[in-house]
Structures are given as structure tokens and as C-alpha cells.
Amino acid sequence: MPGFELFDQREIDAVTDVIKRKMVHRYSFVRTRDEIYKCEEFENAVAQKMGAKYCLAVNNGSAALYIALKNSGLEPGDEVITTPFTFIASIEAILQCGLIPVLAEIDESLNLNPEGVADYITDRTRAIMPVHMFGGCADLDAFQEICLDNGLSLFEDACQAIGAKYHGKFSGTIGKWGAYSLDPYKVITVGEGGLILTDDESLYHRMEYYHDHGHIHSKIIERGAEGKACLGFNFRMSEIEGALGLVQLSKIDTALERMKNNRDRVLNEVGAIDGLKLRNCSDADGEIAMNIIYLLPDASIARKFQNAAKELGVACGNFSDNSWHYARHWEVLRDYSAKLRANSGCNCDSCNSYPLYRPNEWPVTQSILERTAVFGIDVNMSDESINLMIKAIKHGAKTI
């Protein structure tokens, strides 16, 4: 799955070139850099490939979410509805802005369930942020309609979904903004990096200033003399990552295709088995094949299936155990969200009475996650490992 599987001489050359030229800063040195701007080239290439008007490269995916949320016009105490099945950064980014994360239930796509979301909308709700888990897009048409009906903004945490499509459009290009991560676990990687896509020119400029101390970037006036638009902070990407990103982006189609081939070899060989169904994303064709995610008839069968697969030496996960991605396991969030809410500057009744994070408040999510059996798909897989996975799934299916 990870982009570093595809590292070769081209990444080495790209980094070496930046070092040789001694031009590691994405801004600055306007007179000596020969007009070479790797981060900017990378941003333009991403925007063009994905079909977005603007792209801002930043230092990681968590920062991408934070910068976008921070500049979307929300006020401390405003609520953002998202999912309890995500990487914790989605929720941390909301909290860091003094906003209140409201975690609704998922459906059998393992993404936020649009049908349940209406129950969580209050007069403080400002946005819905679905997370496209494991490269499968949430039902964005449904969320767009809910947002339109209720005057809310739609944001996309597409950190796990660079290259995924939703009815022909790339993930991250459908909401007001979308964020990708380029960390080592994602489809393409630069070590640490993030990208924000948007079609909103004014939002793009606010984010672009904010991510670099408010600097109004100029290619004529030297850095420091060009003036500031606002206060901000430093979330810059360096030219090393920009150069790496350009090479990785040129490999994304190959990475996606190879994972899809590997997954389809397994699925075709396993064939249809009663009681063994795949998670159902609203656009299954657009899903990245980074995993095979089965839903079994019940939790106990899922355990037996998982153990049977493991007997053959094949790693098989159950998402209800996943402390990395499931809010039920995040004890730290309870204290932290209480503190942040106290510091958010909002003391209205609605904020103070809103239920805090509770570890067991997602019965539907739990009932879905405990039925999962998950296999990881890599870009490079030997015939042997593919055949073993097929064998493990067939062996597991005997327990149904």
C-alpha cells in the first residue's frame, strides 16, 4: 500500500538535485534560485491531475486539515459532524480550532452514514466532514444535499484517499475543500507532507498566507519585505518534499493499478461466497484497492474467520480492535475535549450541555466494525502471497 514501495533512483535524483542547488526553501532566494520552485510545481501538478483550481502543499495531513478548518470561517464553539471511525487527526484538527467534533454513526461503507446525520444537526452545526476511509469515498452526493438543505459546509478528509474517485471526480475536489496526507502509510508519500485542494480563490489565499506567518508571497520582492496579510504560523513544505512529491505523483497511476490488479486477482479467485460480502461504498469502482474489507454475518463468525485466516499465517484484522482508527479506544479524547471546550471561549448553553466524548456511544458503528475481516493489499505482491491470501479467505469462509 505505501508509496515508499515505489521509491527508486528517480526519488534519489530529485532529492539530490535540490541539495546540489542548495535551494531547500520553497520561498525566498528570488534572485538566485533560477526560478525553480519545486513545491509550486508539485501543487500545480496535483491541482491539474485532480481537477481542482487550487492546491496548497503543507508539512503534513493533520496540518492540512487544521489549516483548512481554521480558515473556513467557523467560530470557536461551532460544531463539525464527523465520524468515530477515522484517524484521530481528523478530530484533533477540529479541537485545535476550538470547534466541537460531533461523532455520528457509520454505515456499511465504513464511512459516515448520511442517513443518521440529521439527528446530530443543532443550531451550532456549521459543517460536515466525512472521512474517506481506506480509499473508499463517503456518499458525497447525499452529504452535499444535507449541507445545502441545512446551510452547512461540506469538507473532505481525503487523507487516506488520494487517487480515489467518486462518480468520476477525484476525492477531495467535491466539498468546499479536501485534504490529502503524504505520510509513509499513504498511497504516495514524501516522508511527511499534506495537500489542500479547493476551488475557492479567497479560501486558498487565506490558507496560503496563514500557513506561512501571513507572508504575501512574491517572486519579485525578497522575503520579509513583501508584507503580511495576517498572523499565521509555519506549516510550510520544503523543496525536498516538493521534489519528491513530483516524482511520487508521476507514479500514482501505476501504484493504484497494481493494487487493483492484486486485489482483483484475489477476489476473482475467491468468487462469490454466501455470507461473505465486501463493504459497500457508494462508488465501489472508484475505491482504492488498498484493502479487502469483508463484512461477515455476525461478530462471532468474524472472529472465527479471522482466526482461521491467521492459522494459515495471513494477517487479518478486525476493525473493532483498531485503536488507531476507532474513537471507542481513545480515552485521551475525553479529558482533552473537555479542556479545549472550556478554553474555546464559548460558554453558551448549547456548548456546555452538549454531551462530551463517551467511549461507548456508537452502537451501530460497533455492530458494523465487529463484523469486519480485513486484508492489506500492497503495490508489490508475489504470486505466493496472493495465493496464500486466497487460501486463507477460502479457509476462513468455512466458518460461515
Ligand X SMILES: *Cc1c(COP(=O)(O)O)cnc(C)c1O
Q: Which residues of the chain form contacts with ligand X (CB under 6 A)?
A: 60-62, 86-87, 89-90, 131, 157, 159-160, 181, 183, 194
Supply the DSSP string of 163-202, one letter for each residue: T-EETTEETTSSSSEEEEE-STTSSS--SS-EEEEES-HH
Nearest approach in angstroms of CB 293 to ligand X is 15
Cell of 76: 470557536
- C-beta closer to ligand X: residue 87 or 294: 87
- C-beta closer to ligand X: residue 179 or 301: 179
Nearest approach in angstroms of CB 361 to ligand X is 20
Measured CA to CA, the distance from residue 141 to residue 144 in angstroms comes to 5
- C-beta closer to ligand X: residue 33 or 236: 236
Measured CA to CA, the distance from residue 177 to residue 330 in angstroms comes to 27
- C-beta closer to ligand X: residue 79 or 183: 183
Nearest approach in angstroms of CB 148 to ligand X is 25
Distances (CA, A) of 79 to 106, 112, 120, 124: 18, 16, 10, 6
Q: At what angle do helices 61-70 and 201-210 cross, to 10 degrees?
A: 120
8 A C-beta contact, residue 197 and residue 155:
no
- C-beta closer to ligand X: residue 87 or 357: 87
The DSSP call for residue 315 is -
Nearest approach in angstroms of CB 398 to ligand X is 33
Nearest approach in angstroms of CB 93 to ligand X is 8
Q: With H, G, I as helix, E, B as strand and everything else as coil, classify residue 254.
A: helix
Give the distance from CA 229 to its chain's centroid. 29
| Total Cβ atoms within 10 A of residue 385 | 14
- C-beta closer to ligand X: residue 60 or 113: 60
- C-beta closer to ligand X: residue 89 or 390: 89
Nearest approach in angstroms of CB 163 to ligand X is 14
Kindly provide the b/e burial profile for residues 181-207, where b requires at least 16 CB atoms within 10 angstroms of the residue's own CB.
bbbeebbbbbebbbbbbbbeeebbbbb
Give the distance from CA 263 to its chain's centroid. 21
8 A C-beta contact, residue 180 and residue 152:
no
Nearest approach in angstroms of CB 86 to ligand X is 5
Strand order in the sheet with 372-376: 277-278, 291-295, 372-376
Position of minimal CB gap to ligand X: 61
Nearest approach in angstroms of CB 61 to ligand X is 3
- C-beta closer to ligand X: residue 89 or 146: 89
- C-beta closer to ligand X: residue 158 or 266: 158
Supply the DSSP string of 331-342, one letter for each residue: HHHHHHHHHHHH
Count the residues in the chain.
400
Give the distance from CA 325 to its chain's centroid. 12
Q: At what angle do helices 239-270 and 383-397 cross, to 10 degrees?
A: 50
Nearest approach in angstroms of CB 109 to ligand X is 15
Nearest approach in angstroms of CB 332 to ligand X is 16
- C-beta closer to ligand X: residue 11 or 183: 183
Measured CA to CA, the distance from residue 357 to residue 242 in angstroms comes to 38
Measured CA to CA, the distance from residue 111 to residue 130 in angstroms comes to 7
Nearest approach in angstroms of CB 179 to ligand X is 7
- C-beta closer to ligand X: residue 111 or 301: 111
Sequence-distant (6+) residues with CB within 8 A of 332 are none
On the CB side of 134, CA atoms within 13 Å amount to: 23
